[in-house]
Amino acid sequence: MSGWARGQFQADYEQRIDFDTLRTSRLERARAAMREQGVDAVFVWRDENVRYLSSLRAIMIQYRASTTYGVFMHRDGDPVLFLSSGELARAERDMPWIRGLVPIPIMDEAGLVEEVVREKVRPVFAEHGVLDGKVALDAMTFQQHRAYDRHLAQVEWVDGDALMNAVRRVKVPQEIALLEEVTALADAVVASGTEAVRAGVRECEVSAAATHTLFRLGGEFGHLASPFVASGERMAPPTRFPTDKIIRHGDLVFMDIGASWNGYFADVGRTVICGKPSPDQSRIYRAVYESLQAGLAAIRPGARCSDVARAFRLEAERHDLADRFINLFIGHGIGCAPTEHPFVGETMPGADDPILEAGMVLALEPLIWAEGVRGGGGVRIEDMVVVTETGAHVMSRAPYDDGLLG
């Protein structure tokens, strides 16, 4: 693909994203992983895995992951989609690539879960010959666990979350083209948010202006369930949602709203100044900017995530701010999930340290904050990056703040 966003519409005058090819490529990656790991089938319920294997776009009810939509797929077969009965008629009409559709309720009540597993899930497993097979499962509730024990007692369950994370980690060319498009949308969201920043405007108004652009341009939803807009002292430490705080002259203003389009996420964040920055604000901003550039320079196939994190921290040390990073990772994978493997600079013990490969897509987001700075001393800058054979290709193009760079 071209390495830039051509446009989201269909066109007869040039080759754009081929969604049939995209769906076929994703299924082949999943089947190959199952064969390689000796798994007979996957049975997935996490939103990102359901979208990856089925392309289902459906109403999203918050706090309902793993109870509303699921996909079963044999390693030699096609997806069977378990979906809300409210989506069945539309899926039958609009999703010809899915031949198996199984309507289910929201699987919260014990009786409903019992009925679905006994009367709908077990027959699918039996039809595909995996009642005593090895099946990769990514998520379940306690009620599901109990019903599986009763009605699928001979199944050997293995880690489907790890399997699907590995499948989704490296993107195929059609995915990267799609991520270029959603990054262009996220850049537009940042532009509208930036234009709304002025003294006397509330954080929630900046969020509203940016979110209006997100939906005007056809986005499905943002990177976050609640937009992250914070100004002034609310960025030290970060308040990671918009409030009724009035933005004032001299405030730093951070926005991180992102976008989702056709099942893929972009995560672009920018800090801007309302008015003129103080020397301390400019110093912190430059430290974050230069640590981001150092991290970008460290990205290449064969490097480890820890190598990239080290580059970030060494540059921040040069500014005497390495101890002021937020206690969180500095970057993360992104695709059908807004935050996915691999993670760069995770601070908690037990984190993986994977090797970067060409085709991985990352959101790099260093955040440094210092207390006691008038107008706020918290800065984050976030870019979307694809790992190529020659290094990092930055997909996001939202401008950095020249007033803060000095």
Residue-wise pLDDT tens digits, 13-70: 999 999 999 999 999 999 999 999 999 999 999 999 999 999 999 988 877 778 899 9
Residues with Cβ within 8 Å of residue 353, at least 6 apart in sequence:
304, 305, 306
Nearest to 388 by CA among 185, 176, 179: 176
Q: Provide mean pLDDT across the span 219-248.
A: 95
Q: Where are the domains of the chain?
A: 19-168, 170-405
Q: Which CATH class is domain 170-405?
A: alpha beta
The class of domain 19-168 in CATH terms is alpha beta
Question: Hunting for tokens 């900046």 — which residue is that?
Answer: 206
Task: Cis check for the bond before 227: say yes or no (omega within 30 of 0).
Answer: no
- Locate all alpha helices (DSSP H) within 85-132, ordered by sequence: 88-94, 110-116, 122-127
Question: Angle formed by the axes of helices 160-169 and 19-37, to 10°?
Answer: 130
- What is the reported pTM? 0.96
**271-324 pLDDT, tens digit each:** 999 999 999 999 999 999 999 999 999 999 999 999 999 999 999 999 999 888
Nearest to 335 by CA among 289, 395, 294, 380: 395
Around 366, how many Cα atoms within 13 Å sit in the side-chain half-sphere? 28
Sequence length of the chain is 406
* Structure confidence by residue, pLDDT tens digits, 108-119: 899 999 999 999
